[in-house]
């Protein structure tokens, strides 16, 4: 894989906007830290290694699981984009694909036949380290292939404690990562339950159509059941994905659902509109974070990522090169409060 072409990148202008300073201030910071940015053509950009030293963000480790009992909601793409976006801020991320279809694995250009997958780890005691494929600097993945279809049978046969499965598997490597993202199949299975019990947040993409709403209803009921049975509070967050102004305004089921008082505090403010750009880029083996071009969908996922992962400029630390004049003109902003209209 050509890292230079496919790996996440951030423009100097985007970095300046994030920190609330001028582009000149960014260049001064880079020079002061003796950081030399890579280039695409004649354009310099910030990659994972540069971002880690420039932003110096101390991330709060989170484990995110994307799931809903409804296919086609965009959960895999969403998870992939959020992970890639987090990487542009200097976060080291691990993606775990437990869907036998292996869509997340395909998106990351990994040949799963070259690595053990989850069923191999559980059934044949492969070390988890052998299952990790490096995608880009700061991005690893545990891939999936069709053999994971018997994962639930193996978990049941071995009578594994669901609440411990992922903690046990990842024990030796979990502290190597700022964020862990798990992509699940659209089912309520043993492996999905184990992933949900492991996660800090269950991320639920909701499309503006009634079957997606039914999927959310099932998930809500399952969360209540699991929380009760395992005596653990499970947190989930819902966001609107693939919406258009026409469908969201006309679908009474979705509007009613979002106004449900039981969902208070669980609905993410940022919404992601339908965009043909996403499948177009996927066909090319890249995504909106692989290039430096202006992209509305990238901007939307930037906001979504910051809101979900609570990413702020240096956790409130003052930028040395930020002058008082710049501070007045461009105050630091909390991206979590932004909403895409």
Q: Is the residue at 68 inside a domain?
A: yes
Phi/psi for 73 (5° steps) reads -85, -10
Measured CA to CA, the distance from residue 10 to residue 54 in angstroms comes to 12
Contacts of 213 (CB under 8 A, 6+ apart): 206, 253, 254, 257
Q: Is the residue at 6 inside a domain?
A: no
Q: Is the residue at 18 inside a domain?
A: no
Q: Is the residue at 10 inside a domain?
A: no
Tell me which residue range forms the domain holding 71: 59-310
Element (H, E) at 142: strand 139-142
pLDDT in tens, 86-98: 999 999 999 999 9
Contacts of 234 (CB under 8 A, 6+ apart): 196, 197, 199, 202, 223, 226, 227
Q: Is the residue at 22 inside a domain?
A: no
CATH number of 102's domain:
3.40.50.300
Count of domains for the chain:
1
Measured CA to CA, the distance from residue 49 to residue 46 in angstroms comes to 8
pLDDT in tens, 122-154: 999 999 999 999 999 999 999 999 999 999 999
Q: Is the residue at 178 inside a domain?
A: yes
Q: Is the residue at 154 inside a domain?
A: yes
Length of the chain: 341
Q: Is the residue at 20 inside a domain?
A: no
pTM of the model: 0.86
159: left (phi over 0), alpha (psi -120 to 50) or beta: left
Q: What is the DSSP string of 98-141?
A: --TT-HHHHHTT--GGGS--HHHHHHH---HHHH-EEEETTEEE
Model confidence at 324, in pLDDT bands (50, 70, 90)? Answer: very low
Q: Please, are residues 100 and 184 in contact by the beta-carbon 8 Å criterion?
A: no
């Amino acid at each position: 894989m050509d890292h230079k072409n496919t790996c996440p990148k951030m423009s100097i202008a985007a970095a300046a906007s994030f920190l609330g300073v001028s582009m000149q201030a960014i260049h001064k910071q880079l020079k002061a830290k003796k950081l030399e940015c890579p280039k695409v053509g004649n354009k310099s950009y910030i990659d994972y290694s540069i971002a880690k030293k420039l932003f110096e963000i101390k991330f709060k480790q989170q484990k995110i699981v994307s799931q809903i009992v409804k296919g086609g909601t965009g959960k895999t793409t969403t998870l992939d984009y959020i992970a890639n976006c987090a990487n542009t801020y200097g976060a080291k991320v691990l993606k775990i694909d437990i869907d036998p279809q292996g869509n997340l694995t395909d998106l990351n250009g990994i040949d799963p036949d070259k690595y053990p997958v989850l069923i191999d780890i559980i059934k044949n005691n492969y070390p988890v380290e052998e299952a990790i494929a490096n995608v880009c600097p700061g991005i690893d993945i545990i891939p999936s292939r069709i053999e994971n279809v018997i994962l639930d049978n193996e978990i049941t046969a071995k009578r594994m404690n669901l609440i411990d499965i992922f903690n046990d598997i990842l024990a030796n490597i979990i502290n190597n990562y700022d964020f862990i993202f798990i992509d699940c199949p659209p089912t309520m299975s043993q492996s999905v339950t184990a992933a949900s019990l492991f996660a800090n947040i269950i991320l639920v993409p909701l499309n503006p159509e009634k079957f997606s709403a039914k999927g959310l209803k099932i998930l809500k009921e399952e969360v209540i059941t699991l929380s009760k049975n395992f005596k653990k509070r499970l947190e989930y967050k819902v966001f609107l994905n693939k919406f258009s102004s026409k469908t969201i305004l006309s679908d009474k089921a979705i509007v009613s659902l979002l106004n449900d008082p039981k969902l208070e505090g669980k609905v993410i403010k940022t919404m992601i509109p339908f965009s043909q750009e996403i499948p177009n880029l996927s066909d090319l083996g890249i995504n909106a974070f692989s290039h430096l071009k202006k992209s509305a969908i990238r901007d939307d996922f930037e906001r979504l990522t910051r809101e979900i992962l609570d990413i702020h400029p240096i956790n409130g630390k003052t930028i040395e090169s930020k002058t008082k004049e710049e501070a007045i003109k461009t105050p630091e902003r909390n991206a979590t409060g932004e909403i895409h209209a």
